Amino acid sequence: MKFPTILTWMSLMMFVVLLLSGGPALSAPPAPDSGRAFFGNEYDPKTCQMNATSTDEPYEGVPKPEPKHDHFTYVQPWSGYCPEATLKDRKKAACMTCQTANIKGSELYDGIEVQGNKWALLACDEARAGVEAGGGPFGAVIIQVDDESGKVIRYWRNRNHVVEWTDPTAHAEIAVMRATCKEIGVMNLGRIDKNDPHLKLPQTGKTSHCEMYTSTEPCPMCYTAMRRCGINTLVFASTRFDAGVQGIDLPLDANYNELQTSYRDRAAKYGMHVYQATVPNSLDAYNLYKRSEVTKY
């Protein structure tokens, strides 16, 4: 599998930094009608959780590896949930059969297949709740783990808000990372120091870290945002290929393939026209940044 160029990832990371920064909307007052606002977006606190849930429970780490199975006889565990089709187009509804197993179909997942745990289940429950609220089928959970005790001290859960907020970047992963960073008071979730003067939430051990659980394999934007946040552990349930089936039709696989394509060839293959402009002030901001006393991240 080919990987994107360094410049491609750098451009994506710069975009993600803007997403996570939040801007002036961070201090926006609560919206009187919905009850609360999150980065300027209204939400209903009765159905959507933006704050951490405190806990004190042992964490056994990433789930155990999934045993090897015979591909011809193995039947993947399934919840049995198959809701009634309510699409107005009945012919179309008849084609939307319930899926019972994840689509993998390549060597992409070899060596990373693991069993589930309560956090993976919670992320999937959040995804379903998002659909029930009229949103996209995606959920995400971040757990904060104390490095000394190995316990989960708190967690955040969130869902997709693209339709609700009219924001194509309001993915579940972005929402839960924003909530976590804002509430803890740090930008690096990979190593949270008890003595950090910006820390807003208490922790017993000297350091802690966060891990991400998602209902679906993240898109390139969300994956890059995780890396910008310092998250080093990701566990996802459904795959990019599950997201591309009939009725879901989300091109996650195409998004990854596009990043592996040179800028020159993207116009013909994907209709994306990208240009690099030569202007005399292109490095002014970088030069000011590296020579000034500003907060580095």
pLDDT tens-digit readout, 48-106: 778 999 999 999 999 999 998 887 899 999 999 999 999 999 999 999 999 999 999 77
* pTM for this predicted structure: 0.84
Residue 140's Cβ-count burial label (10 Å; 0-12, 13-18, 19+) is: buried
Q: What pLDDT score does 14 carry?
A: 55
Residue segments in the chain with a per-residue pLDDT below the cut of 70: 1-35, 40, 46-47
pLDDT reported for residue 38: 74
Closest CA to 180 of 214, 141, 216: 141
pLDDT of res. 8: 54
Nearest to 147 by CA among 81, 183, 194, 195: 194
Binning the chain into helix, strand and coil, the percentages to the nearest 5 are 35, 15, 50
pLDDT at position 1, please?
A: 44
Q: 185-191 long-range CB contacts below 8 Å, 24 or more apart?
A: 187/20, 187/229, 187/230, 187/297, 188/229, 188/230, 188/297, 189/142, 189/229, 189/230, 189/231, 190/229, 190/230, 190/231, 190/232, 191/230
Residue-level pLDDT at 70:
86
Q: What is the pLDDT of residue 71?
A: 79
Q: Is 208 helix (H, G, I), strand (E, B) or coil?
A: strand
